[in-house]
Structures are given as C-alpha cells and as structure tokens.
Amino acid sequence: MREFKSFNINFEILIIGPGITVWIFVILSLIEDYFPGSLNNIPDEIKQSFLPFIVVLIISSIILSLNFIIVNNRGIEIRTLFPRITLKKRSWREIKYYAHVIETWSGKFTWF
C-alpha cells in the first residue's frame, strides 16, 4: 500500500508557548501594581534568564505544532516535522471498529 502524507499545523500547541508568556507578563504586572517594589528583590540573574526561557518555550511550541499525518498499510501515525517524534500511532487492528472503510480489489492489492 502506498504511504499518504498530510502536513498539519496543530494550533492548540502553537498557542501554548505565547499564551504562557502572556500570562507570566500579566501576573508580573499585577504583582507590581498591587505590591510596588516587590519585584526589585528578585536577583538580576533570574531576570536575565527569563528571556531565554521564553524564547525556548516559543520555539519548541512552534516546532512541535508542525506535524505530518501518515497513513500506510501499518496504520495511522502522527509525527512531528523536526525532530521525528511520534505523537500518536494506531494500527488498523486498533481502529478497524471505528473507521468506516470501503475495501476495493484492484487485481493485486486491496485498497481501503
């Protein structure tokens, strides 16, 4: 059986990185509004390490949101674009009772 690939963007994962970043900034601004000067006690090393954390979080959410859906004779697999991490993998035996499949015979192969 041929292998069919479909490129997909998972918007739920794509929203997580920037969403967490926005919430952190909102919480920090609320703390500064209600308790002025309380964030001045945080060491500068922690404040400077916050920016790389945000950048890594956003880049990893973008990388994990780009994926392929692969359908072949072994089953259906959802795999990330880079690196090749399998997010979900189901064999035809596992999903045969849930998928509505029409089987056709073309001489040599059975197509679904």
Map out the domains of the chain as residue ranges: 8-111
pLDDT surpasses 60 at 23: yes
- Split at pLDDT 50, 70, 90, the class of 57 is confident
Token pair of 78, please? 């959802």
What is the per-residue pLDDT across 83-102, written as a single tens digit (0 to 9) for each? Answer: 889 989 999 888 877 766 66
- Split at pLDDT 50, 70, 90, the class of 108 is low
Contact 75, 92 (CB under 8 A): yes
Q: Does the model's pTM come out above 0.75?
A: no
pLDDT number for residue 66: 93
When the pLDDT of each residue in the chain is averaged and rounded to a whole number, the result is 84
